[in-house]
Structure 1
Amino acid sequence: MSATPILEVRHASRFYGKFKALSDVSVSFRAGELTAIIGPNGAGKSTFFNVISGGVPPSAGQVLFQGQDITGIAPHEFARLGIAKSFQITNVFKHLSAHENVRVALQMQTTRFQLLRPRSHYRELIERADALLARVGLQACRDKLAGDLAHGQQRSLEVAMALACEPKLLLMDEPTAGMSPEETLVMMDLIRRLAQERTVILVEHKMKMVMGLCNRLIVLHHGELLVDGTPEEIRNNAEVKRVYLGQG
């Protein structure tokens, strides 16, 4: 395994006026890990996700991907680098079919700079879209409109779209938000399978879920890094119990 972290955050802070949403956070992520960023409401999780996903630049500090400084680069450049994002609010084209959604995502990666393509290329796009739908368990919903899919299925479709750029790093913002218990179990199983192929970092507020899912947890509190450790270490940490578990 490479000694260089796949993602490294160095002394990142983020201000909104006088409010400091993130304060001097430094953390690194090894390739192949499944990590959750957790914390109570107002802990800075969403701000941290926005900083590492390119949604907002840090007010201070750096973000590095595979040793390359990516601080402040345009969000659309992240996919080119091998970073994909899945957001808390589902972002799919509801008037298109599931297959068309994934095909659009693939075309954005493969035809951006080439207008003339042989017919065989579009056959390849169709086959790749079918493969991505199968990977997230949506092959039976291929021709359904995205707007007609259940909420959990729409989230899985968004993941399939995120996988179109074949990312090395997948960032997921509260992937089970708004899901039923059954949908949550399906998404957890999908995340486990995805983590066997790439590095996954997710932001979640469901402590019980991530305890049984991730091999590493990072706890934020008031915009600061509180604890970084294994689920067992987090479960037994007195500070976590005080600021997080005690609130549940």
Structure 2
Amino acid sequence: MTDATMIEAVGLTRRFGGFTAVKDVSARFERGKITSVIGPNGAGKSTFFNMLSGSLKPSNGRILFEGQDITGLAQHRFAPLGIAKSFQITSVFPQLSVLENVRLASQALVSRYDFWTPRARLEGLREIALGLLSEVGLEARADGVAGTLAHGEQRALEVTMALASRPRLLLLDEPTAGMSPEETVAMMALIRKLASERTIILVEHKMKLVMGVSDAIVVLHHGELIAAGTPDEIRGNEQVKRVYLGERQH
């Protein structure tokens, strides 16, 4: 691992009974870059992504974060290390305000390591939450009910909640799933903005977004790594064209 590498997968394998979903995948993700993980349905993207985020333990292989072996570490220990994940399915609290959603995410992190202080006395959480909402452009919706937000805004709110832990590495699982073209453009702009201060890994199906936003791309097929490189290198890779880019995209 070099200083430029933030997180590295070394021979990652994941088996479910007799089925191998990911087989011996090694890949490096550089600090300060946006890297997309792509591949056809059933390629093993989600399984690989879930191992990187700590929600799934590998059957074999290692995960190194800034040189530290974090293989098999309990998922709740990832946030203190500087790793956060936004899920494919929106998981906001729809009955609470936008601000309360972010404040609760911040409070969970503060109170987890401060057992003796009453939560009502924890200071600065509102200001922290407003700052995060400002970062993603949702400050004007702070007092609105989260459940009334448009789908794209709810996804942006969920990303904001992931930012509450101040991660250096942000993992985004299909951040534009279900979005309109206009919402997708807004999310692309947000991802680029967030990448100015942190490393981002995302799983995404929309190739226009992937090619437009990524610094690097990792391609999986049948659970194996078949290519890794810049968008231009991936565009020109004949094997990738055969197994993925040649497929009809939505």
Fold match (TM-score > 0.5): yes
| Structure 1 residues 148 and 4: CA distance shift in structure 2, 3 A | same
TM-score computed with the length of structure 2 as normaliser: 0.95
Q: CA RMSD in A?
A: 1.4
CA distance in 2, matches of 1:14, 1:117: 42
Q: In the alignment, is the contact (CA less than 8 A) between 1:34 and 1:215 conserved in 2? A: yes
Q: Which residue does the alignment assign to 2:213?
A: 213
**Which residues of 2 match residues 111-150 of structure 1 at below 5 A?**
111-114=111-114, 115-116=116-117, 121-122=122-123, 124-150=124-150
Q: Which residue does the alignment assign to 1:67?
A: 67
Give the superposition deviation at 1:37.
Answer: 0.3
1:82-113 deviation per Cα after TM superposition (whole angstroms, max 9, x unaligned):
00000100111111110000000111111223
SS in 2 for 1:25: strand
Matched-pair identity in %: 59
**Which residues of 2 match residues 146-165 of structure 1 at below 5 A?**
146-165=146-165
| Structure 1 residues 118 and 224: CA distance shift in structure 2, 3 A | closer
Read off the aligned partner of 1:116 and give its amino acid letter.
T
Give the superposition deviation at 1:153.
Answer: 0.6
Q: Which residue does the alignment assign to 1:22?
A: 22
SS in 2 for 1:103: helix
CA distance in 2, matches of 1:166, 1:213: 22
CA distance in 2, matches of 1:205, 1:221: 14
SS in 2 for 1:28: strand
CA distance in 2, matches of 1:200, 1:67: 18
Read off the aligned partner of 1:111 and give its amino acid letter.
S
Q: Which residue does the alignment assign to 1:243?
A: 243
SS in 1 for 2:112: coil
Q: What runs of 5+ residues in structure 1 fail to find an aligned partner? A: none
Read off the aligned partner of 1:137 and give its amino acid letter.
G
SS in 2 for 1:41: coil
Moved over 3 A (4+): 117-121
Tell me which moved more, 103-112 or 192-201.
Answer: 103-112
Q: In the alignment, is the contact (CA less than 8 A) between 1:35 and 1:200 conserved in 2? A: yes
Give the superposition deviation at 1:116.
Answer: 2.2
Q: In the alignment, is the contact (CA less than 8 A) between 2:111 and 2:119 conserved in 1? A: no
TM-score computed with the length of structure 1 as normaliser: 0.96
Q: What runs of 5+ residues in structure 2 fail to find an aligned partner? A: none
CA distance in 2, matches of 1:26, 1:138: 37
CA distance in 1, matches of 2:221, 2:200: 22
* Count of residues paired in the alignment: 246
